[in-house]
Amino acid sequence: MQPHPSPTPLVLMAGPIAAGKSAVSRRLAQELRASGQQAALVELDAIADMARPTLPDWAHAHGIFAAVTGQWLVAGLDVVIAESVSDRAELAMVLQNVPAGTDVLTVVVTCPFETALERASADPTRGISRDPGFLRGVHERWVDEMPLISADLVLDTATTDLAESVRRIRAALGTRSGAH
């Protein structure tokens, strides 16, 4: 394999449960691949699913998610999308695995609690995130956490549709120095 001309950019998707991170990330990966780019999509839930229902602790899944993200960044792809950071500690864990020189585009995906509850309630694959009390607590913590995450792009998926969200991310990737 030939060396990559510059470090692979990372699109880091952050936000609370049921904000739309997975939908936006999957569509972004599909569009990038359809345009001929090599893109890896690393999803926290997919990592956790490898051990569910016996997953001993979500902390293990977060550590593996961070490590896998770092490994894809040195694989010579055009872009890596890491989906599901929900606070500064998780962000720091991922960034510890990012090679020096990596261009990181941090995208915050958010929505009001009511929108998230509607989405989570309609998704039969969800577990505890369908519980209104649990979800409300997550979103209340997110209100405090969001301003502490240095976002390059903020998307409110209650007011920005999927196509526009992906268009904005692709535009942001295209204007960055490390974009391919």
Structural domain count of the chain: 1
Does a structural domain hold residue 3? no
Q: Is residue 4 part of a domain?
A: no
On whether residue 2 sits in a domain, the answer given is no
Assess if residue 134 is contained within a domain: yes
Q: How far is CA 43 from CA 83, 101, 129, 175, in A?
A: 5, 23, 17, 25
pLDDT of res. 6: 55
* Whole-number Å distance between alpha carbons of 178 and 102: 8
In 80-177, alpha helices (H): 88-96, 113-122, 132-145, 162-174
DSSP, res 41: E
For residues 35-48, one letter each, b for 16 or more C-beta atoms within 10 angstroms of the residue's C-beta and e for the rest, the string is eeeebbbbbbeebb
Phi, psi (rounded to 5 degrees) for 85 = -105, 130
137 falls within a domain = yes
pLDDT (tens, 9 = 90+) of the chain, 180 residues, equals: 444 445 899 999 999 999 999 999 999 999 999 999 999 999 998 998 898 888 888 889 999 999 999 999 999 999 999 998 888 999 999 999 999 999 999 999 999 999 999 999 898 888 888 899 999 999 999 999 999 999 999 999 999 999 999 999 999 998 764 444
Handedness of CA 141, 142, 143, 144 (dihedral sign): positive
Length of the chain counted residue by residue: 180
Residue 179 in any domain: the answer is no
pLDDT (0 to 100) of residue 177: 45
Owner of token pair 């990592």: 47
Nearest-angstrom CA–CA distance, 143 and 87: 11
* Nearest Cα residue to 158 out of 115, 113, 120: 115
5 in any annotated domain: no
CATH number of the structural domain spanning residue 45: 3.40.50.300
Helix, strand, coil % over all residues of the chain, rounded to 5: 50, 15, 35
Q: Identify whether 180 is part of a domain.
A: no
Question: Which residues span the domain enclosing 31?
Answer: 10-174
